[in-house]
């Protein structure tokens, strides 16, 4: 008998007279001690169906079907009874631990609230229980950390605190909605291990929502694949990974295999013409930020040197806070280092100094950037055509007709339909926006593109498409890329060489094959071990 079973669930939203069906006839079930993973791209309805099943959607949503939790249909339960079930019997872990924690309350108070909302507990006993919970989710020194505010916790610790809240009352079911998407790979692996350990200890049922099949394959027993508001396939994980039934599952699996297929990076790097002098040479870069009201500066980079050859894709890998974005911004000429130089074809263009950096026109256009956030990197008030025309308008004396021609060619080059030209960024998907950003970067045929986490805001299937696009652009235009990422799987697939950055220092650098097969530094090994999908397979 399933602990939690959803049958024929449908959700429609009504907004300004328009009706959209978000979920259509979805059924799934999970048993005690088992893990069900719901996998699909964003907008496929995976979060909505769980929110609907637990009565967390706003009034504008119309929910039909049934969601049985131990004989009670949650969709027909009165609000008060439903609240008693949620929290006590069903625990929740959400994607973004920062926005789900109250910034002005201590961690301890917030976890305590999860308990006192359902039980009457004495003050001392409550504190004891919260400390035990924090210790259980692996927070060091819980007696002291219980009185910290969320901003003193790292992303991974915040997610641990959220998990502590979810398990506070030993619920029979935990619903985790993209619990590791906002986290670094090493932290992600630790959180997944924690969830699995807790589940084994207490026999909890777990529903895990993710867009990444590789993440899911670490701990799931069964997988439901969702697309366009419907479940296209439900099967045990072994069956999904070995004999996927639906073509979309195969696509997801293909995208997820990247990380697992590290052993197969046997293909030698595309024979780039070896030249004596590198395209880009950064030498001895130091970067220190002054903090307001503090004497001691924060050091972001220490003695970093880096080379990129013509037509080469170099991966820059590290956790958040390792200084990789700072390095990218210095290379892009958006930031001055406090020591060291950056040179393009032997010409130094970035060195310490005062005021914003001014670059010669030909140097400025030779180095372009693709940013992480496809929502922020396009001006929301300008059409795609206007955004893509800008490089030509500013740097060339072409006529309007010639520019239009080039913009159209550019759009074709990044495989976008011509119709997007007259749209605003808000009318594009994340993948389309990132294509536009890439098109803008390659418009003037730069020698080097700094791509700062260009994939991390995208779905895994879209990621695979953008990787293919970058590879094709390199082949066609001979552009070099400095590819900044925390995702080793992507780096292994795309790059020839990799530089591993940790706390502002280069700990390892070399050809991807050598670094991934024979990592010298323990940190590189840790990163490699954290790649999702490896545990299940090895």
Partner 1 sequence: MSSPPVLEPAGPAGPCDAEDGRRFPALRAILAERSTRFGLVLVGLVVLSALLAPVAAALTGHGPDQQFRAEALTTEGLPVGPNAEFLLGADGNGRDVLVRTLYGARISLLVGIPATTLALVAGTAVGLVAGFFPGAADRVLSFGTDIALSFPFVVTALSLVALNRGADGRPVIDPVLLVILVISLFAWTYFARLTRGLVVVLRNRPFVEAALTIGVSRRRLLVREILPNVLPVVAVYWAVQLPANILAEATLSFLGVGVQAPTASWGNMIAEAQRTSLYQVQPWFLLAPAIAMFVTVLGFNAIGSGIRNVLDPQR
What the block records as the tokens of 468 is 């293919």
Grouping H, G, I as helix, E, B as strand and the rest as coil, residue 198 is helix
Q: How far is the CB of 350 from partner 1 (least distance, A)?
A: 13
394 lies in the site for partner 1, by CB under 8 A: yes
Q: Which x/- pattern, by CB under 8 A, does the window 404-443 give for partner 1?
A: ------------------xxx-xxx--------x--xx--
Q: How far is the CB of 188 from partner 1 (least distance, A)?
A: 25
Strands (E), 237-273: none
Q: How far is the CB of 442 from partner 1 (least distance, A)?
A: 12
Helix, strand, coil percentages in the chain from 3-state DSSP, rounded to 5? 40, 25, 35
Q: Of the two residues 297 and 376, which places its CB atom closer to partner 1 in the complex?
A: 376
Figure out which of the listed residues 193, 196, 250, 364 binds partner 1, where binding follows CB under 8 A: 364
16 lies in the site for partner 1, by CB under 8 A: yes
203 lies in the site for partner 1, by CB under 8 A: no
- Rounded (10°) CA dihedral 409, 411, 416, 417: -60
391 lies in the site for partner 1, by CB under 8 A: yes
Q: What is the 3-state secondary structure (H, E, C) of 300-354?
A: EEEEEEEEECCCCEEEEECCCCCCHHHHHHHHCCCCCCCEEEEEECCEEEECCCC
Q: How far is the CB of 186 from partner 1 (least distance, A)?
A: 26
What the block records as the tokens of 120 is 């009457």
Q: Which x/- pattern, by CB under 8 A, does the window 285-324 give for partner 1?
A: ----------------------------------------
334 lies in the site for partner 1, by CB under 8 A: yes
Pick the piece of the chain touching partner 1 (CB under 8 A) from 14-22, 34-42, 195-203, 484-492: 14-22
Residue carrying the six token digits 């098109």: 439
378 lies in the site for partner 1, by CB under 8 A: yes
Q: How far is the CB of 371 from partner 1 (least distance, A)?
A: 4
Q: How far is the CB of 427 from partner 1 (least distance, A)?
A: 5
Q: For the chain, how big is the Rg over CA atoms in Å?
A: 25
Nearest to 437 by CA among 428, 494, 381, 482: 428
**Buried b / exposed e across 124-157, counting CB within 10 Å, b at 16+?**
eebbebbbebbebbbbeebeebbeeebeebebbb
332 lies in the site for partner 1, by CB under 8 A: yes
Which residue ranges make up the site for partner 1 (CB under 8 A)? 15-16, 18, 332-334, 359, 361, 364-365, 367-369, 371-373, 376-382, 390-391, 394-395, 422-424, 426-428, 437, 440-441, 444
């Amino acid at each position: 008998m399933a602990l939690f079973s959803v049958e024929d669930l449908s959700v429609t939203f009504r907004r300004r007279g328009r009706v959209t069906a978000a979920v259509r006839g979805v059924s799934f079930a999970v048993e005690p001690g088992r893990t069900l993973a719901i996998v699909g791209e964003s907008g496929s309805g995976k979060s909505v169906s769980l929110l609907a099943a637990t009565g967390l959607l706003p009034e504008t949503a119309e929910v039909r079907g049934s969601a049985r939790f131990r004989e009670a249909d949650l969709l027909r339960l009165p609000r008060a009874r439903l609240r008693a079930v949620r929290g006590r019997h069903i625990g929740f872990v959400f994607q973004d631990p920062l926005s789900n924690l109250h910034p002005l309350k201590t961690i301890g108070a917030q976890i305590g609230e999860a308990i006192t909302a359902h039980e009457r507990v004495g003050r001392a006993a409550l504190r004891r229980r919260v400390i035990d919970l924090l210790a259980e989710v692996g927070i060091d020194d819980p007696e002291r950390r219980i009185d910290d505010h969320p901003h003193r916790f790292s992303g991974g610790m915040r997610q641990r605190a959220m998990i502590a809240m979810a398990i506070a009352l030993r619920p029979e079911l935990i619903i985790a909605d993209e619990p590791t998407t906002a986290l670094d790979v090493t932290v992600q692996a630790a959180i997944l291990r924690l969830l699995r350990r807790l589940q084994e200890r207490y026999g909890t049922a777990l529903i895990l929502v993710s867009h990444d099949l590789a993440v899911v394959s670490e701990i799931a027993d069964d997988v439901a694949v969702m697309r366009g508001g419907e479940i296209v396939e439900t099967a045990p994980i072994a069956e999904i990974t070995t004999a996927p039934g639906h073509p979309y599952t195969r696509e997801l699996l293909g995208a997820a295999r990247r990380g697992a297929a590290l052993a197969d990076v046997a293909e030698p790097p595309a024979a780039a013409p070896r030249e004596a002098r590198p395209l880009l040479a950064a030498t001895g870069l130091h970067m220190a930020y002054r903090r307001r009201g503090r004497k001691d500066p924060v050091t972001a980079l220490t003695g970093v040197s880096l080379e990129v050859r013509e037509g080469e894709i170099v991966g820059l890998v590290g956790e958040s806070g390792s200084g990789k974005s700072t390095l990218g911004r210095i290379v892009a000429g958006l930031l001055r280092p406090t020591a060291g130089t950056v040179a393009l074809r032997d010409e130094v263009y970035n060195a310490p100094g005062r005021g914003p950096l001014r670059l010669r026109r030909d140097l400025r256009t030779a180095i372009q950037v693709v940013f992480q956030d496809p929502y922020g990197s396009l001006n929301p008030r300008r059409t795609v055509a206007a955004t893509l025309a800008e490089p030509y308008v500013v740097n060339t004396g072409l006529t309007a007709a010639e520019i239009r021609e080039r913009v159209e060619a550019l759009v074709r080059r990044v495989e976008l339909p011509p119709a997007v030209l007259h749209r605003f960024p808000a009318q594009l998907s994340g993948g389309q926006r990132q294509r536009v950003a890439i098109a803008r970067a390659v418009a003037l045929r730069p020698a080097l593109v700094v791509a700062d986490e260009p994939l991390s805001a995208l779905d895994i299937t879209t990621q695979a498409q953008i990787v293919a696009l970058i590879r094709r652009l390199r082949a066609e235009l001979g552009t070099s890329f400095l590819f900044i990422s925390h995702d080793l799987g992507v780096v292994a697939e795309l790059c020839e060489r990799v530089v591993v950055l940790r706390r502002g220092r280069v700990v390892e650098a070399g050809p991807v094959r050598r670094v991934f097969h024979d990592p010298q530094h323990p940190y590189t090994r840790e990163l490699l071990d954290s790649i999702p999908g490896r545990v299940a397979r090895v």
